[in-house]
Structures are given as C-alpha cells and as structure tokens.
Amino acid sequence: MSGAIALPAEMLLSQAQTTAPSAKDLASRQKIEDAAKSFEASFLSMMLQPMFAGVATDGPFGGGQGEAMFKSFLTEAIAKQATKQGGLGIADTVQREMLKLQGLK
C-alpha cells in the first residue's frame, strides 16, 4: 500500500521539476514585464500630453520656456506612477502577447 502512495508523489515531484521555470526563463519574463510596463508608461505619457497642452499657466509663477520644457517630464512622471499603481491594463495584455511570441506560458 505504501508503494501506491509513493508513486503519485514521485510523479508529482518529477512533473514539478520539469515545469519549474529555469533562471533564463525567469530573466526573460522579467525583461518582458519591464518592457510591457515601459510601453504602457510611454503610451500613457503620449495620451496625457494633449491634456496639458491647453492649460493656461499665466501668473506670477507660471508660464515661460522652463514650464514648456518640463511639462513633458511631468506627463512622463505621471504616466510612470500610474503604471506602477496598476495602469490601464495595457501592460498585462502586451506582456501576455510577448510571452506567447517567445513560447513561454
């Protein structure tokens, strides 16, 4: 009876060993995740730029060349932070498709 219990346990152990991702796969997955999040942040940044284009910032501390130059950095920072907090879900979809293309599950 002990042989009947040991056989499934050995099978489960061998299956777990064959399906465990290698260090190379884990590194590939991390690179894909980073690329997908970077893509989503870039996309969000591009979508936010027109939103800030029409904002009038005249006043004692607003406007000028400096503000125009740094506005893109602001939209990029907002997009990166939004992506860190979960984003729109674009990164998840892109990551799944990239994993499929690489043959990873």
pLDDT, one tens digit per residue, over 11-30 is 555 555 556 668 888 888 89
pLDDT of residue 43: 95
CB 94 within 8 A of CB 36: yes
pTM score, whole prediction: 0.68
Q: Nearest-CA neighbor of 67 among 76, 54, 79, 57?
A: 57
59 or 38, higher pLDDT: 38
pLDDT of residue 26: 85
% of the chain at pLDDT higher than 70: 75
Residue 22's φ and ψ, nearest 5 degrees, are: -80, 170
Give me the residue label for tokens 């892109």. Answer: 94
Tokens of 22: 């290698």
CB 31 within 8 A of CB 94: no
pLDDT, one tens digit per residue, over 22-58 is 888 888 889 999 999 999 999 999 999 888 877 777 7
Q: Report how far Cα 55 is from the mean position of its chain's Cα atoms.
A: 29
